[in-house]
């Protein structure tokens, strides 16, 4: 029976037969030399392979004739060149030409369809713009009215200061502190009615100084006077945004002299002005403490609310106008389309049937 011998075994036997007649030391040297040659060939083959991969990464456009075979033709109008790897076009110019031809072909038809069928979103946008413009007019009217109130209040304060001081014994007598007591709304201490308003005002200012209301930019409102404090704090690098008349940190009340009159306008039935003024000394009047500051703060707060309302309305108007502009833009008309199945019906809105 014949026995099968592998080729590798025959090759190894032939190599051994070559070294049989050599000295053992020479045989070992010859085997080592052959191994070194094999290692060198293997290293060179790996270097060539790595170099080819690097060249393909650096220059993807320079490909062999074999690599150009599976590429498709460029989609550019009138172009017969093969596409770039990972693209449908051979160059950016071909892509721009095809996009321009698509726009010239599709856009006129889309514009005609947009004009023929009414857009309910456009109608809603127009109604919202009308409502916003009406509210803006109301806010402007309110702001003008509050500006008139501001000047009227300053005139009333000036007239009150021109009144002569009148000492009334019944008004200036000391109230019994042991009978009438009240608790402070800020600190909770029990205080007498005689000094209640004064104590509450100072207590509120003390707690108000602990909180900060700041902004990186000062207030710049055209035509507005005496609104925000706008005092710059170098530590926090911010501008104070409290009302100027109520800021306890940067505005202090002037000292009251002995001959200064209270000057608060007197009212009848809570709201009806009598035309008279409180003529008691300001230091002794406990019924109208800090009335000037509180009235000014009330008017200034209403002015700030009107300005804030105008700012909100302007932002809403900007959003609505931007949406209306983008609704019939080039990108929207190219990407979206309304299919009109019935050519006789112009209004495509869905109606609820009873």
Q: What is the pLDDT of residue 48?
A: 79
- Residues near 27 by beta carbon (within 8 Å), at least 6 away in sequence: 19
Cα distance between residue 14 and residue 24, in whole Å? 17
Domain membership flag for residue 45: no
Tokens of 175: 């109230």
Domain membership flag for residue 208: yes
Q: What is the pLDDT of residue 329?
A: 78
Whether the CB-CB separation of 221 and 227 falls below 8 Å is answered with yes
Of 70, 126, 131, 73, the residue nearest 313 (C-alpha): 131
Strands (E) in the chain, as ranges, are: 181-183, 190-192, 214-215, 232-233, 238-240, 265-268, 272-277
Domain membership flag for residue 289: yes
Left if phi > 0, otherwise alpha if psi is -120 to 50, otherwise beta: which for 309? alpha
Tally of domains in the chain: 1
pLDDT tens figures, 162-186: 888 887 644 545 444 445 788 887 7
Work out the number of other CB atoms within 10 angstroms of the CB of residue 205: 16
Q: What is the pLDDT of residue 134?
A: 95
Q: What share of the chain is helix, strand, coil (3-state, %, to 5)?
A: 50, 10, 40
Which residues span the domain enclosing 304? 120-335
Domain membership flag for residue 73: no
Residue 245, classified by CB atoms within 10 Å of its CB into exposed (0-12), middle (13-18) or buried (19+), is buried
Domain membership flag for residue 5: no
The residue ranges of the chain whose pLDDT is under 70 are 1-27, 55-71, 168-179, 223, 340, 342-354
Domain membership flag for residue 259: yes
Tokens of 329: 């833009």
Tokens of 98: 């095809």
Domain membership flag for residue 203: yes
Cα distance between residue 171 and residue 285, in whole Å? 8
Whether the CB-CB separation of 334 and 103 falls below 8 Å is answered with yes
Cα distance between residue 33 and residue 130, in whole Å? 96
Cα distance between residue 149 and residue 191, in whole Å? 35
Cα distance between residue 307 and residue 241, in whole Å? 14
Domain membership flag for residue 64: no
First vs last Cα of the chain: how many Å apart? Answer: 102
């Amino acid at each position: 029976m014949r026995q099968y011998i592998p080729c590798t075994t025959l090759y190894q036997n032939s190599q051994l037969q070559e070294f049989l007649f050599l000295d053992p030391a020479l045989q070992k040297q010859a085997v080592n030399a052959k191994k070194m040659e094999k290692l060198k060939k293997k290293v060179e083959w790996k270097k060539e392979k790595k170099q080819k991969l690097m060249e393909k990464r650096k220059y993807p456009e320079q490909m062999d004739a074999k690599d150009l075979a599976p590429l498709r033709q460029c989609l550019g109008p009138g172009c017969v060149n093969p596409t770039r790897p990972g693209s449908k076009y051979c160059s950016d110019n071909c892509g721009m030409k095809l996009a321009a031809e698509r726009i010239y072909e599709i856009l006129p038809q889309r514009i005609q369809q947009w004009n023929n069928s009414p857009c309910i979103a456009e109608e809603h946008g127009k109604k919202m713009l009308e409502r916003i413009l009406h509210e803006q007019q109301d806010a402007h009217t309110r702001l003008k009215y509050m500006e008139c109130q501001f000047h009227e209040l300053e005139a009333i304060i000036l007239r009150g200061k021109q009144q002569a001081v009148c000492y009334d014994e019944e008004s200036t007598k000391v109230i019994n502190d042991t009978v009438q007591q009240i608790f402070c709304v800020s600190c909770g201490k029990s205080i007498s009615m005689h000094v209640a308003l004064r104590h509450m005002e100072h207590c509120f200012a003390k707690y108000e100084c602990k909180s900060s209301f700041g902004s990186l930019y000062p207030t710049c409102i055209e035509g507005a006077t005496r609104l925000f404090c706008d005092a710059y704090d170098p530590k926090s690098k911010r501008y104070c945004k409290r009302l100027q008349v109520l800021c306890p940190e940067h505005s202090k009340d002037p000292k009251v002299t002995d001959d200064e009159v209270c000057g608060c306008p007197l009212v009848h039935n809570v709201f009806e002005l009598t035309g008279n003024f409180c003529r008691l000394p300001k230091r002794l009047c406990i019924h109208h403490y800090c009335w000037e500051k509180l009235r000014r703060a009330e008017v200034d707060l209403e002015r700030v609310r009107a300005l804030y309302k105008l700012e909100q309305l302007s932002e809403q108007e900007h959003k609505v106008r931007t949406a209306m502009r983008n609704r019939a833009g080039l990108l929207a008309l190219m990407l979206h389309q309304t299919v009109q199945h019935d050519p006789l019906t112009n209004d495509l809105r869905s109606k609820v049937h009873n």
